[in-house]
Amino acid sequence: MAKKAKIGFVCTECGADFPRWAGQCGSCGEWNTVKEVRLGSSQTASGNRHSGYAGSRSEVQLLAEVDLAKAERISTGIGEFDRVLGGGIVFGSVVLIGGAPGAGKSTILLQAIARIAQRNEAVLYVSGEESLQQIAERAHRLGLPVQNIKMLAETSVQRICDVLNQEHPKVLVIDSIQVMHHQDTESAPGSVSQVRESASYLTQYAKRHGVSIFLVGHVTKDQSLAGPMTLSHIVDTQVILSATDDSRFRVLRADKNRFGSVGELGFFAMESTGLKEVKNPSAMFLSRSEKPSSGSVVTVLWEGTRPLLVEIQALVTECQYGNPRRLAVGFDQNRLAMLLAVLSRHGGIFTANDEIYANVVGGIKVTETSSDLAIVAGIVSSLKDKVIAYDSFYFGEIGLNGEIRPVANGFARLNDAAKHGFKKAIIPKANAPKKSIPGLTVFPVTNLAEALGVMDES
């Protein structure tokens, strides 16, 4: 006889749990969002256990006895994709890939499983949004080999796990998690409770059976992943695919990765045959104008496990309305205000009556402090209308006392810039290389005043 399912109450907006119904959610403050849900029962109405994760019971095991062979990776055949994942797909891992409509989420996953299937690895693509005919047309347009790709149109996670028990694929794609539903959850597909329960169900299956799962996720208007915050905690890896200012290019960023570097970037170009790897992303962001102009400066960021050269532009202009604006695009607005204060206090350059705009070219989001010196150099260049040499670059963190602080991986940054033809480097003294780099002249500085002095001389 089937056991009676337990009843719970969940907010459909924030996913908060409650022991009883309430008119207002005590977590997010929304009204009439607390809904009754049935918690997962151990048996179905027919008395049979769900086939999903109700397998053999877990047992206590010594950490030293854990088989490390299970941590092997599967290569997708796409170098930039493997880089973001930390070197490939880990057996039994769950990867959530999000992005705006048209970013290329389904395209890159279809390309990846097509290459995996070519190596006679079992794969399964589950579509809950598009018909199988639409996916077949896309694969034909991309020129992908489709002989070994198995497809399924289904939205029930229990039914999907039944099929998995029959097919035993190594890689599974769920497109998308927002349309999946769990039979024991009484709410519409796409709701907070359905997304959470469906993702949890599939994740537990992946861990018990060693299936690597890709979950396609939607994003909201502010480009954050739709659904409950618990979705990010459930999965092993979370990556976001987004477009740059140039619509031809796509950037894949790892926001969470239990098996690799967080913040790792992969770069792709959208072509008629799908997403193609960009082997030299620095060249993609250094398409500068032929005529040098003031306010333009190059810096070297460290994204994941590699350096990346980007251009930073600054514009300083007279205030027209008595309330000067400070606008930063691509990095923290508060950091711009702090750098201006340091520039005034320790650099003797006052910008209180000027409007200042700073932008990281190419749509890159700067999350580290190594670009401080470049931002200040760009502002001073625009203010004085002095062009910074095309073959020079800046990097270094600026402290509140005006000191130039070192950054991580300084030697690798210098080497990469030298390979791209840069001749002059203005960097923190602590990052000065012990041995010279051919073709590169290094100007080590200890404080902001020294950096501005080198800038005036060059």
Q: Is the pLDDT of residue 383 over 50?
A: yes
Co-location of 161 and 44 in the same domain: no
Residue 194 in domain: yes
With beta carbons less than 8 A apart as the criterion, state whether 229 and 205 touch: no
Q: Looking at per-residue confidence, does 38 or 241 come out higher?
A: 241
Co-location of 239 and 346 in the same domain: no
Residue 157 φ/ψ, nearest 5 degrees: -70, -30
**Lowest mean pLDDT across 6-15, 158-167, 300-309:** 6-15
With beta carbons less than 8 A apart as the criterion, state whether 279 and 372 touch: no
Co-location of 294 and 337 in the same domain: yes
Q: pTM for the full model? A: 0.78
Q: Residue 140: in which H helix or E strand, if any?
A: helix 132-142
Q: Is the pLDDT of residue 228 over 80?
A: no
Co-location of 168 and 233 in the same domain: yes
Say if residue 136 is exposed, middle or buried (CB neighbours under 10 Å; 0-12, 13-18, 19+).
middle
Eight-state DSSP code of residue 103: S
With beta carbons less than 8 A apart as the criterion, state whether 415 and 397 touch: no
Q: How far apart are CA 56 and CA 331, in angstroms?
A: 49
Eight-state DSSP code of residue 306: E
Q: Give the neighbor-by-neighbor strand order of the sheet with 7-11.
A: 17-18, 7-11, 34-38
Name the maximum alpha-carbon separation found in the chain.
87
Q: How far apart are CA 196 and CA 94, in angstroms?
A: 14
Co-location of 213 and 302 in the same domain: no
Residue 141 in domain: yes
65-81 b/e (C-beta count within 10 Å ≥ 16 → b): eeeeeeeebbbbbbebb
Q: Is the pLDDT of residue 271 over 80?
A: yes
Q: Which domain holds residue 198?
A: 71-279
**Lowest mean pLDDT across 38-42, 176-180, 233-237, 293-297:** 38-42
Q: For residue range 317-363, list pLDDT tens digits in order.
A: 998 887 899 999 999 999 999 999 999 999 999 998 899 999 998 88
pLDDT band at 41, cuts 50/70/90?
Answer: very low
Q: Is the pLDDT of residue 3 over 80?
A: no
Co-location of 290 and 268 in the same domain: no
Q: For residue range 21-30, list pLDDT tens digits in order.
A: 888 888 778 8
Co-location of 139 and 183 in the same domain: yes
CATH of the domain at 148: 3.40.50.300
**Alpha-carbon separation of residue 410 from 168, 299, 428, 441 (angstroms):** 47, 12, 9, 14
Residue 62 in domain: no
Q: How far apart are CA 394 and CA 448, in angstroms?
A: 12
Co-location of 103 and 173 in the same domain: yes
Co-location of 353 and 377 in the same domain: yes
> Can you list the positions of beta strands (E) in 69-224?
73-74, 89-90, 94-99, 123-127, 149-153, 171-175, 212-217
Say if residue 377 is exposed, middle or buried (CB neighbours under 10 Å; 0-12, 13-18, 19+).
buried
What is the number of domains present in the chain? 3
Cis peptide before 293 (omega within 30 of 0): no
Residue 64 in domain: no
Residue 300 in domain: yes
